[in-house]
């Protein structure tokens, strides 16, 4: 008579039972999945369906004084608007008529290609349209109360249309595609300008600093590359603009 190791037999038996259980469970789940698909209108349960994203429109308070739309995927509408814009990355500025009391508008990091429809914001003091796709400075003629203008990291090649910014204290323009500092002296109240930033642009001519000589309150000047490559960079800036106290990251020592 052959002697059988019951432990092996027991393990094999348990393994077979496990396979049968697993197989049965999978079959049951598959069957249930098919039933669910039929109940939902015949959808194939093997297909992956993307869950619907609930879209939201942000309504802006018409009495708001500060609106921050940094890197937004939004629908922009005035409060109580019956026809809000769909959810999308902001590509233009519109529907701002109800925001006449707005003092600060931040449109940093969007896909805006043109400065437009801003003329209604006559009380605006701070405007930031940095990291967008702008090629021109335009549409800001009516913003006579503007104190700070940020146009960092766009594709702008010329300083223009800033003549009416009577209250401008800070102008930040770099990096962009500027090759010259120009039309700054057209500012009606140039003496109010306190900060001028044009770092990492394409400036090469030191005589461009003459445009800033009328800015008697100018305390901060950031030009940096490529002019900063000049070993006499700090000395030349301070000679051209005696009021400058901070050049790049360092204060001027007197």
Please check whether residue 33 lies inside any domain of the structure.
yes
Please check whether residue 32 lies inside any domain of the structure.
yes
Q: Indicate the pLDDT class of residue 1, thresholds 50, 70 and 90.
A: very low
- pLDDT average, residue stretch 160-165: 93
Please check whether residue 221 lies inside any domain of the structure.
no
Please check whether residue 28 lies inside any domain of the structure.
yes
- pLDDT average, residue stretch 113-136: 94
Please check whether residue 214 lies inside any domain of the structure.
no
- pLDDT average, residue stretch 235-247: 91
- Displacement of CA 64 from its chain's centroid (Å): 20
Please check whether residue 248 lies inside any domain of the structure.
no
Number of folded domains in the chain? 1
Please check whether residue 180 lies inside any domain of the structure.
no
Say how far apart CA 82 and CA 75 lie, in whole Å: 12
Say how far apart CA 245 and CA 235 lie, in whole Å: 12
Question: Based on the number of CB atoms within 10 Å of its own CB, is 149 exposed (0-12), middle (13-18) or buried (19 or more)?
Answer: buried
Q: Give the residue numbers spanning the domain of 15.
A: 1-46
pLDDT digits (tens, 9 = 90+) for 33-83: 445 544 444 444 444 443 443 434 455 566 666 666 665 543 333 343 344
Q: Is the peptide bond before 175 cis (omega within 30 degrees of 0)?
A: yes
Please check whether residue 4 lies inside any domain of the structure.
yes
- Of 5 and 131, the one with more pLDDT: 131
Question: Based on the number of CB atoms within 10 Å of its own CB, is 215 exposed (0-12), middle (13-18) or buried (19 or more)?
Answer: buried
Say how far apart CA 174 and CA 224 lie, in whole Å: 10
Q: E strand or H helix at 13, and its extent? A: helix 6-39
pTM: 0.67
């Amino acid at each position: 008579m052959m002697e059988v190791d019951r432990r092996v037999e027991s393990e094999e038996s348990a393994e077979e039972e496990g396979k049968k259980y697993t197989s049965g469970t999978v079959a049951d789940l598959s069957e249930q999945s098919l039933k669910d698909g039929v109940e939902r209108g015949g959808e194939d349960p093997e297909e992956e369906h993307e869950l619907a994203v609930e879209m939201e429109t942000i309504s802006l308070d018409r009495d708001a004084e500060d609106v921050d739309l940094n890197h937004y995927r939004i629908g922009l509408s005035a409060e109580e608007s019956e026809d809000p814009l769909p959810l999308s990355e902001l590509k233009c500025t519109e529907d701002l008529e109800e925001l006449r009391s707005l003092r600060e508008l931040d449109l940093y990091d969007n896909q805006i290609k043109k400065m437009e429809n801003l003329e209604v914001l006559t009380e605006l003091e701070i405007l930031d349209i940095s990291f967008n796709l702008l090629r021109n400075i335009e549409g800001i003629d009516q913003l006579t109360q503007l104190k700070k203008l940020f146009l960092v990291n766009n594709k702008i090649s010329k300083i223009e249309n800033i003549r009416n910014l009577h209250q401008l204290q800070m102008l930040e323009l770099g990096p962009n595609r500027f090759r010259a500092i120009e039309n700054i002296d057209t500012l009606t109240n140039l003496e109010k300008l306190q900060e001028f930033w044009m770092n990492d642009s394409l400036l090469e001519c030191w005589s461009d600093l003459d445009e800033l000589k009328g800015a008697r309150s100018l305390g901060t000047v950031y030009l940096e590359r490529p002019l900063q490559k000049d070993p006499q960079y700090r000395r030349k800036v301070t000679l051209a603009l005696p009021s400058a106290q901070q050049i790049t990251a360092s204060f001027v020592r007197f």
